[in-house]
Chains A and B, each alone.
Chain A
Amino acid sequence: MSADILATGEGLRLTLPPSPAFAVVARLTIAGVAARLGIDTEAIEDFKVAVSEAINLLLTQPATGGPITIDVAWTPEALSLVLTREGGALPNDEEAQIAEVVMFEYADGGAISPDGPEIHLTKLRPAAGA
């Protein structure tokens, strides 16, 4: 990533097999992007938790589904993710509710859409979050 790209905005797409073994790949990849965007260590650790919980929700959906796709985009203000997995609905049990609470606590913004299903997460970059 060049300095210009980091400053103005760009994106990438990560596609992962629908397996718990790849949750760590998602966490570490997003952490790497966040670090390049100047987000501080504590905030990155928070966002890793949010990403993990999103992956947990997508992997425990009742229906089998396809790969998990994470669209990563950044602007001068924020790092944004859209996590999707085709093939079913999100879980709605007690564990899923806890995962949602944790996910939203550790992100600066987020939303869940049952269509897809799709999970949106945002972490503010330092200039916007300071």
Chain B
Amino acid sequence: MGDSAQPLRIETYEIAGHPCLKPIGEVDIASVGTLQEAMAGLLEAGHSRLVMDLQGLTYLDSTGLGSIAAARRRAREAGGDMLLICANSRILRLLSITGMDLVFRIVRNAEEAERVLGGESPR
């Protein structure tokens, strides 16, 4: 994780027809609202199968994790789910400490996500 604060920006791309959010920078109590808005936007647009690419994060705390978990709950209530892309050892450790590694399906890169999602129809 980085030595200096980076403003959060969010890129969106598709994996096997499913929207993927890629937050880039730091997610903490000050920036988590940006991530929440992006996730809510996709859910409100009717997307229930989401991918969250955590590879661009330089910092993530429990507020960010909580928001991602809340978005996953909403996706599942709508009949979908959320897949995480993460190979960052520090974030994987955070997921493990909080038990989120048992809740989420986690893959290490977009190619693996493509294979996992390839057989599923969007939304």
- A contact set with B: CB distance below 8 Å: 19-21, 23-24, 27-28, 31, 45, 48-49, 52-53, 55-56, 59-60, 95, 98-99, 101-102, 105
Contact = CB atoms under 8 A, between A and B. Distances in A.
Contact of B62 (A19, A20, A27, A102): A102
A95 B26 contact: no
Contact of B66 (A20, A52, A98, A105): A98
B26 A24 contact: yes
A21 B94 contact: no
Contact of A45 (B26, B63, B90): B90
A68 to B, nearest CB: 12
Interface residues of B, number: 18
Contact of A56 (B3, B62, B94, B98): B62
A21 B3 CA distance: 17
B61 A20 contact: no
B65 A56 contact: no
Q: Which 5 A-B pairs have the closest CB atoms?
A: A20-B30, A20-B29, A24-B5, A99-B62, A52-B61
Interface in B50-74: 59, 61-63, 65-66
Contact of B98 (A28, A52, A60, A101): A101
Contact of B29 (A48, A49, A55): A55
